[in-house]
């Protein structure tokens, strides 16, 4: 399938004199098809995307940080069983959930001016008890004294997170029937009878580890059958706030039936995520013209990828977009399209969401669909699912 930049060249809709902020999200890319879905399923996905967009928008419109906007948006998708993250994450080949997430900013948030500029972000992998991994990435980024490294894994990351107030749950919280059946089917095992999980620590009264999803009272969620089969995707958000800071956040359960301990592109800086700014090149005339057009003296980009993460790692896909913009002078649309084409040519399926410091948005994909959406200062959430969809209001 040829790749496509869905709604290529999406431009800022507001006047340059007005506050410029934007949020773009994805809920994964993969094998979903219009023919294999119902109107009700498509509406459920687009409604969930709209809720995520509005959650992030509510932060941005009040002058909030891009970092907090992407966490707000991704948290909605982590809580929704339709998406491969949080309560909806896929299983590894041992029938367990191992989650990953990452956060990166183009410059320190205004709310934390003392944060070193060299501290660009934080990521975690092999997470099994954190209800919202996106909250953990944010907490670790803001605690350099406790988490000085850009990437942590497993119990250490979750222990530090718990000490910072990040909510922990029993691993059974992440179990959903649809993903469990998918796991069993992928291994060639019988799907019936369905064995609902038991809490690992039913007598543990410490903090919130006994906050297990009540499957019998929450069956309506399980009626939401995911459209993507055997997903390899993620959820993600990239935001630009009124101070010109860009934040990118990605969260995932990984790929269905992955090996135990597998680390994907989501927590690997430069591969599944990236955010950066740099001084614009050019002589006096170009810099003067940019100032007249209201452009910052800095250029910047934020990226969140979704798809077969092994290929994103091999291509350093996310940071490659920034380098193409900086050194080749490519536009955001050109750089993202070239990277997604390179992935396709090597056999990598997926999509990318990205935005630059001027508020331009790109959403290229090289597969049958990518749950995606964008929202600007007008507050109208625009969403789409399939390869040939134009973003529009639900």
- Binding site feature residues for substrate: 262-265, 306-309
List b or e across 47-77, with b for residues whose CB sees 16 or more CB atoms inside 10 angstroms. Answer: ebbbebbbbbbebbbeebbbbbbbbbbbbbb
CB atoms within 10 A of CB 283: 7
User: Which segments of 54-210 are extended strands (E)?
Assistant: 99-105, 121-127, 151-153
Structure tokens belonging to residue 185: 């089917």
Measured between alpha carbons, how far is 141 from 147 in angstroms, rounded to an integer? 7
Catalytic residue among 101, 130, 234, 252: 234
182's enclosing H/E stretch is helix 177-186
Structure tokens belonging to residue 317: 């896909």
In the residue annotation, 234 being an active-site residue is answered as yes
CB atoms within 10 A of CB 359: 19
Q: Tokens 């599944």 sit at which residue?
A: 272
Quick one: DSSP state of residue 106?
S
Pairing mode of beta strands 246-252, 361-362: unpaired
**CA neighbor of 79 nearest in space, from 238, 218, 184:** 218
Backbone angles phi, psi at 128, to 5 degrees: -130, -10
Q: Helix crossing, 133-141 with 154-163: angle to 10°?
A: 70
298's enclosing H/E stretch is strand 298-307
Measured between alpha carbons, how far is 20 from 1 in angstroms, rounded to an integer? 35
Q: Helix crossing, 39-60 with 66-78: angle to 10°?
A: 150
Residue positions annotated with a catalytic role: 234
């Amino acid at each position: 399938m040829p790749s496509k930049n869905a709604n290529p060249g999406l431009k800022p809709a507001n006047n340059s004199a007005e506050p410029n902020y934007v949020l773009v999200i994805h809920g994964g890319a993969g094998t979903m098809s219009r023919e294999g879905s119902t109107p009700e399923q498509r509406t459920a996905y687009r409604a969930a995307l709209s809720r995520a967009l509005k959650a992030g928008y509510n932060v941005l419109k009040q002058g909030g940080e891009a970092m907090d906007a992407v966490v707000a948006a991704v948290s909605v998708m982590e809580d929704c069983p339709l998406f491969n993250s949080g309560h909806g994450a896929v299983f590894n080949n041992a029938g367990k959930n191992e989650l990953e997430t990452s956060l990166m900013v183009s410059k320190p948030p205004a709310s934390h001016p003392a944060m070193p500029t060299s501290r660009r972000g934080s990521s975690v992998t092999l997470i099994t008890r954190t209800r919202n991994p996106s909250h953990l990435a944010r907490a670790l980024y803001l605690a350099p004294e406790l988490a000085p490294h850009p990437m942590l894994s497993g119990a250490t990351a979750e222990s530090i997170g718990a000490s910072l107030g990040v909510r922990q749950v029993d691993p059974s919280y992440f179990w959903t029937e649809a993903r469990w059946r998918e796991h069993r089917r992928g291994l060639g095992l019988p799907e019936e009878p369905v064995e609902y999980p038991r809490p690992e620590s039913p007598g543990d009264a410490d903090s919130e580890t006994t906050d297990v999803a009540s499957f019998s009272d929450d069956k309506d969620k399980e009626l939401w059958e995911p459209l993507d089969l055997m997903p390899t995707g993620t959820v993600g958000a990239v935001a630009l706030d009124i101070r010109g800071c860009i934040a990118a956040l990605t969260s995932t359960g990984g790929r269905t039936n992955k090996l135990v301990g597998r680390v994907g592109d989501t927590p690997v800086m430069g591969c599944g995520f990236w955010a950066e700014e740099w001084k614009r090149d050019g002589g006096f005339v170009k810099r003067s013209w940019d100032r007249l057009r209201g452009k910052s003296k800095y250029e910047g980009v934020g990226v969140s990828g979704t798809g077969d993460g092994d290929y994103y790692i091999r291509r350093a896909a996310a940071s490659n977009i920034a380098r193409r913009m900086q050194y080749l002078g490519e536009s955001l649309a050109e750089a993202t399209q070239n990277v997604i084409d390179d992935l396709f040519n090597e056999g990598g399926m997926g999509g990318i969401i990205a935005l630059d410091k001027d508020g331009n948005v790109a959403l290229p994909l090289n597969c049958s669909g990518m749950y995606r959406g964008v929202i600007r200062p007008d507050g109208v959430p625009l969403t789409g699912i399939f390869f040939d969809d134009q973003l529009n209001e639900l």
